[in-house]
Structure 1
Amino acid sequence: MPKTAYELEREANIAKNRAILEELDLKGAVAQLGLPSKGAQAKRAAAAAKPVQPAKKRKREEKDEAPAPRRQSTRLRRAGAADPNETPAERKIREKLEEERRMKEEEERLEAEEKAREARKPRHQDLDLETLMEGEQPEDVAALKSTLAEVCKTSHAKRTAEQDAFVFDDDEKEEVGLAALRKRMQKLKVVARAKVTQDRVYSAVYHPEVSKDIILFGDKHGQLGLWDARAAPDEVAGEDEEVSATANGEDGKYWRMQAHWPVTSKSSISTVKLDPIDSNNVFTSAYDCTIRKLDLTTGVSREIHSTEDVLISSIDLPPAGHEMWISDALGGISHLDLREHPSKARWYGLSDQKIGCVSINPVNPQYLLTASNSRALRLWDARKLQTFSGVAEGALLTPPPSSPVPASRIRGATTDDRAGPEEHGAEEVEQFLKSKRGKGCLRAEWVHGKSVSSAYWDPRGRSIVSTSYDDTLRLWDIRPAAFDKGTTLPSFRPFSQIRHNCQTGKWLTILKAQWTPNPDVYPHFTIGNMDHSLDIFSCKGDVVAKLSDRQRISAVQAVTCSHPSIVERAASGNASGRCVLWALPDDSS
């Protein structure tokens, strides 16, 4: 094939450039330019002139491989199974068998779906320790039983203080008491750490046993962790030598019990409380709308109260221990007598928004505190509230237009069918408060800048501390004489306001200031700090201690609690389930 004019001109240019470079003695430059040599040009021209050869066909095997069987659906297999020569009678028998098989498969599918639905529902039956620790090793269950048997040898009752305890006549004595407390609390160090629960810690309580440090933590997924923080860890045998459990950063021993169900955020344990007359009974409330009591002596968890669809935010019990007050997300509180059937409970709508905390005065149990998302902290006289008779017979069968009570909680269709608790909506309560009979029911109120996340009485039933999303801790001091009057308190203004970052956001448990339950020491409370410390304040708002350990603690200690009788004891937990014991480093008691 003759070359085109372009190819001839291109080859002439290449030859001319090569000649110039050779005259300049730049043979290396020729190679760097990548110009083809004369031999390469000749080979390329020969290859271009050679006609294109067809691809060689592969020699087939003498015997073709058998094709792999193709996958086929059950429907096609069944269709193919039919014999074209079968008689009508045989066809009817085959179709009948296939129909029975399909019905059986459908029943199995529906049964599996029902089991899955049941697995997502709360458990209302009694649960023994083996069920609570399902999936754990038998030796772990046996170890917990052994620990509980030792702890439950003694039962402790909740102690309270006199209302005028630690009330000094002059500031000098007040400073002496505060200085003594500071000296003791500032010596606390991290003495034990462990991942007690699998998920975020929501609540905690310190058991009063003095021979051991037993702390119970409730987490986001309904798990109740029991931590024996000072117990000697079990030795784990390795391949070459024995390695202590502390090598993995775990101190003491802990056990996890699935107290509430299902294992999702719908079962977050909002409160853990000890029975005030028997410390071996543990009450837990959760977002699964149930309240359970775990008997540490028998290891049996029993449901004592439940609602259909109302999230329970907190519980509290008076010193007598026979009653319980329950707050919920609908803005109501319920009164439950533990000696009666749960259907005898009474529900009162006290707010148009969620009540996140209810607290009973330990010295005067008739006075309740409620902290609400409506920004209001309110003090109620429960005696007045319980005498509120509501409206006429049968009028509660349908909710009033503005009532926050959902239809699923309203009593049945007839006045004789009353399985649910007696309920009084917010509109009824508002009317009652305006009436002559309701005078003095609402004793005091203070509106915060933002939602009130918690408010608690101290062991004397005198001081109140509240936490709010307006980043302020507030303190009240109510003299006993103010309770004697049956009307609204003349003054209900906090005497101290402490700036404190409470912006926990979505991934941290809400910060709540917790009084130490020890009545023998100057009143003080603990609260987590966003800078990863544990802050301790006195009942007067003075800083007692700011405990931290940058090397061992790298998360917010959002949940706190204190020992009921040992001053130098505090515990805290974070969003990963890791918990910390604060005590004197050389204290082994």
Structure 2
Amino acid sequence: MKYSELEREANIARNREILAQLELDMPIVPPPVKRKEAPNTRAKPVQPSKKAKRETATPIAPTRQSARLRKTVADPNETPAQKRKREHEEEQQRKKQEEELLEAEEKAREAKRPRHQDLDLPVLLQEMDVDELSTLRATFEAISQQDYSRRVAGDEAFVFDDDTKEDAMISELKDKLMRLKVVSRAKVTQDRVYSAAYHPESTKDLIFFGDKHGQLGIWDARAATDEIADEDGDVTGVDDREGGRYWRLQGHWPATSKSSISSIKFDPLNAHKVFTSAYDCTIRDLSFETGTSREIYSTEDVLISSIDLPPNGHEMWISDALGGLTHKDLREEKSRARWYQVSEQKVGSVSVNPTNPHYLVTASNSRALRIWDTRRLQNVAVQSVPSSSDHTGDKSFEYENSIVEKYISSPKGKAAVRAEWRHNKSVSSAYWDPRGRSIVSTSYDDTIRLWEYHDSILQRNSVFPSSRPFAQIRHNCQTGKWLTILRAQWTPNPDTYPHFTIGNMEHSLDIYSCKGDLLARLSDRQRITAVQAVTCSHPSIVERAASGNASGRCILWALPGE
């Protein structure tokens, strides 16, 4: 039953009268209590000082048009000569449009192909202004004035007969590392950090980061910065301000995930040059003296996963996604290289022993960690690098892998693989320490493993007596799709007790000794809210470490006030 508006108002008035007679007041609804918001103790994400975005647009091709629409309206009274002239002009216009279309399409295709030519700083820096370019040139010039030859530790360095001395050294190192704090932050790259390397210059903190889209970020983390005002004219707070100065160089192309920088290495003879490998199937070197980036190696379409160089600086070992190892002599033409199919699946990393450069350690998706004697690999017939499109599981590709497998199972090649250890899941990385004595591996089975080989074993010409790791550390390595794979990285400093850094899924930076002892777990809950997936350390200063995350934001860890 529906009530009219008059009846509804009458009922309201009658109810009020009844309440008044009972001397009852209408219920009073108290005003809502405003809750005090808890103070935000977290610092805002570091605010980038550079607003320029990477230009990835490709040339726009002219729109195709049907022949009917291209025709002009014919004059019904035109003469035969006028008709021929009109048709000739239409044909010329059609040809011109077709040529423009083909030219634009070719430019668009070219923009998506890797660049193989030499690139100078103005091309690499893209949108940077003149001041930024001159500052980078000055930085390169300053570090080119000194020599930075790579130093390695002796294979018997930090080997103690007395455990008391070793414990004291570990305790001293632990005290130093536990005091490291966040001293600088910046969004060094525009996309996810994939790789990092710390330049050996000791008067400044110069750190190189490679990102998902082929960009090399160079961060002078302690450089003086200008105060920057926000939209309201307020100066950005110290905690929110970017620290240092950085430059972004687009060396690998195209600027997409097809060009992720997988590895960064400095020239071991003199760190006036940096090598970068990327998924665009190229390896480039950037000279600080000339400011020129040049291609030193390329494949047709095989992704390069890792590179490493022995201390002599004349050679390079390259791992790839087809399970191959390539040996490149840098003094020869880039087309001259020896390729070996050493695994049925991707080789994710290769590491050269610094004191015995003929030993390599490889980590593969086949779950195997292997130590190779490259002197024995020289007896294997040279193989050609297949393209990734050939990897269809057919017999021809299997035969490429069987060449090395048959050789290492023969009496002549038995000692080519000195040691092998099968992990429970894929091995994401394995590296030699600066002494060439210890190996650390990370795996998707959530375990960090450590090996140690005495010099007497390394000098043998036979298979190592044991391949079992001496220590295993539980560590969450389930990074998923959106984080860079966690890799344990040795500090390259030969003057300190060997230790390595690795990111932690709880947003900390973990540091372990070569014996597996946890030396420090660095974190800052107020200023770090992301996984520090990529890490590196200074080659000569103990109290220096750097890390980067999936947004391109990077951290410098050091002693405050230094």
Is TM more than 0.5 here?
Answer: yes
Q: Which amino acid aligns with 1:288?
A: D
Q: Deviations over 1:362-408 (max 9, x none)?
A: 000000001000000000000110232359xxxxxx99953438xxx
**Conserved 8 A contact 1:327-1:357:** yes
**Conserved 8 A contact 2:545-2:557:** yes
Query: Which residue of 166, 185, 190 maps to 1:198?
Result: 190
1:356 aligns with 2:331: no
Partner of 1:333: 325
Q: Which amino acid aligns with 2:119?
A: L
Q: Which amino acid aligns with 2:397?
A: P
Q: For the residues of structure 1 that align with 2:468 and 2:309, how far apart are their CA atoms?
A: 26
Partner of 2:427: 452
Query: Which residue of 399, 402, 423 maps to 2:395?
Result: 402
Q: For the residues of structure 2 that align with 1:404 and 1:334, how far apart are their CA atoms?
A: 17
Q: For the residues of structure 2 that align with 1:478 and 1:162, how far apart are their CA atoms?
A: 13
Q: CA deviation at 1:323?
A: 0.1
Give the TM-score, by structure 1 length: 0.81
Q: CA deviation at 1:89?
A: 2.1
Q: Deviations over 1:36-79 (max 9, x none)?
A: xxxxxxxxxxxxxxxxxxxxxxxxxxxxxxxxxxxxx9977765
**Conserved 8 A contact 1:234-1:244:** no
For residue 272 of structure 2, give the secondary structure of its aligned residue in structure 1.
strand
- Judged with a 3 Å threshold, the aligned counterparts in structure 2 of structure 1 residues 579 and 29 are, in CA distance, closer, same or farther, namely closer
After TM superposition, list the pairs within 5 Å mapping 1:156-175 onto structure 2: 156-175=148-167
Q: For the residues of structure 2 that align with 1:248 and 1:158, how far apart are their CA atoms?
A: 36
Q: For the residues of structure 1 that align with 2:72 and 2:307, how far apart are their CA atoms?
A: 65
Query: Which residue of 403, 423, 435 maps to 1:428?
Result: 403
Query: Which residue of 285, 289, 292 maps to 1:293?
Result: 285
Query: Which residue of 210, 228, 232 maps to 1:218?
Result: 210
After TM superposition, list the pairs within 5 Å mapping 1:546-557 onto structure 2: 546-557=521-532
Q: For the residues of structure 2 that align with 1:212 and 1:251, how far apart are their CA atoms?
A: 13
After TM superposition, list the pairs within 5 Å mapping 1:307-318 onto structure 2: 307-318=299-310
1:104 aligns with 2:79: no
Q: CA deviation at 1:321?
A: 0.3
Partner of 1:259: 251
Q: Deviations over 1:491-538 (max 9, x none)?
A: 111000000000000000000000000010010000000000000000
**Conserved 8 A contact 2:230-2:236:** no
Partner of 1:411: none
Query: Which residue of 431, 454, 458 maps to 1:483?
Result: 458
Q: Deviations over 1:243-283 (max 9, x none)?
A: 47957520000000001000000000000000101111000
**Conserved 8 A contact 1:313-1:356:** yes
Partner of 2:10: 28
Work out the number of aligned pairs and report it.
Answer: 504
Q: For the residues of structure 1 that align with 2:9 and 2:245, how far apart are their CA atoms?
A: 82
Q: For the residues of structure 2 that align with 1:389 and 1:345, how far apart are their CA atoms?
A: 12
Q: Which amino acid aligns with 1:585?
A: P
1:462 aligns with 2:437: yes
- Judged with a 3 Å threshold, the aligned counterparts in structure 2 of structure 1 residues 310 and 252 are, in CA distance, closer, same or farther, namely same
Q: Which amino acid aligns with 1:100?
A: Q
Partner of 1:302: 294
Q: Which amino acid aligns with 2:10?
A: G
Partner of 1:502: 477
**Conserved 8 A contact 1:315-1:358:** yes
Q: For the residues of structure 2 that align with 1:316 and 1:455, how far apart are their CA atoms?
A: 12
Partner of 1:269: 261
For residue 344 of structure 1, give the secondary structure of its aligned residue in structure 2.
coil
Query: Which residue of 500, 505, 513 maps to 1:538?
Result: 513
- Judged with a 3 Å threshold, the aligned counterparts in structure 2 of structure 1 residues 31 and 105 are, in CA distance, closer, same or farther, namely farther
Q: CA deviation at 1:439?
A: 2.3
Shifted more, 496-505 versus 167-176: the winner is 167-176
In structure 1, list runs of 5 or more residues that go unmatched: 1-13, 33-72, 392-397, 406-423
- Judged with a 3 Å threshold, the aligned counterparts in structure 2 of structure 1 residues 247 and 559 are, in CA distance, closer, same or farther, namely closer
Q: CA deviation at 1:234?
A: 2.8
**Conserved 8 A contact 1:403-1:426:** no
For residue 28 of structure 1, give the secondary structure of its aligned residue in structure 2.
helix
Q: For the residues of structure 2 that align with 1:245 and 1:198, how far apart are their CA atoms?
A: 22
Q: CA deviation at 1:425?
A: 2.3
Q: For the residues of structure 2 that align with 1:468 and 1:567, how far apart are their CA atoms?
A: 27
Q: Which amino acid aligns with 1:382?
A: T
**Conserved 8 A contact 1:324-1:335:** yes
- Judged with a 3 Å threshold, the aligned counterparts in structure 2 of structure 1 residues 246 and 387 are, in CA distance, closer, same or farther, namely farther
For residue 90 of structure 1, give the secondary structure of its aligned residue in structure 2.
helix
After TM superposition, list the pairs within 5 Å mapping 1:121-140 onto structure 2: 121-140=113-132
**Conserved 8 A contact 2:340-2:382:** no
After TM superposition, list the pairs within 5 Å mapping 1:223-262 onto structure 2: 223-236=215-228, 243=235, 248-262=240-254
Q: Deviations over 1:519-564 (max 9, x none)?
A: 1001000000000000000000000000000000000000000000
Q: For the residues of structure 2 that align with 1:449 and 1:197, how far apart are their CA atoms?
A: 34
Shifted more, 226-235 versus 278-287: the winner is 226-235
**Conserved 8 A contact 1:390-1:428:** no
- Judged with a 3 Å threshold, the aligned counterparts in structure 2 of structure 1 residues 30 and 367 are, in CA distance, closer, same or farther, namely closer
1:344 aligns with 2:326: no
Q: For the residues of structure 2 that align with 1:427 and 1:536, how far apart are their CA atoms?
A: 40
**Conserved 8 A contact 1:285-1:312:** yes
**Conserved 8 A contact 2:297-2:335:** no
Give the TM-score, by structure 2 length: 0.85
- Judged with a 3 Å threshold, the aligned counterparts in structure 2 of structure 1 residues 452 and 239 are, in CA distance, closer, same or farther, namely closer
Q: CA deviation at 1:238?
A: 8.1
Q: For the residues of structure 1 that align with 2:167 and 2:343, how far apart are their CA atoms?
A: 40
Of structures 1 and 2, the larger Rg is shown by: 1
Shifted more, 315-324 versus 173-182: the winner is 173-182
Partner of 2:496: 521
1:442 aligns with 2:417: yes
**Conserved 8 A contact 1:472-1:497:** yes
Q: Deviations over 1:468-493 (max 9, x none)?
A: 00000000010111122211111111
Q: For the residues of structure 2 that align with 1:248 and 1:28, how far apart are their CA atoms?
A: 63
For residue 455 of structure 1, give the secondary structure of its aligned residue in structure 2.
strand
Q: Deviations over 1:430-485 (max 9, x none)?
A: 12112232121111100000000000000000000000000000000101111222
- Judged with a 3 Å threshold, the aligned counterparts in structure 2 of structure 1 residues 390 and 219 are, in CA distance, closer, same or farther, namely closer
1:115 aligns with 2:100: no
Report % sequence identity. 63
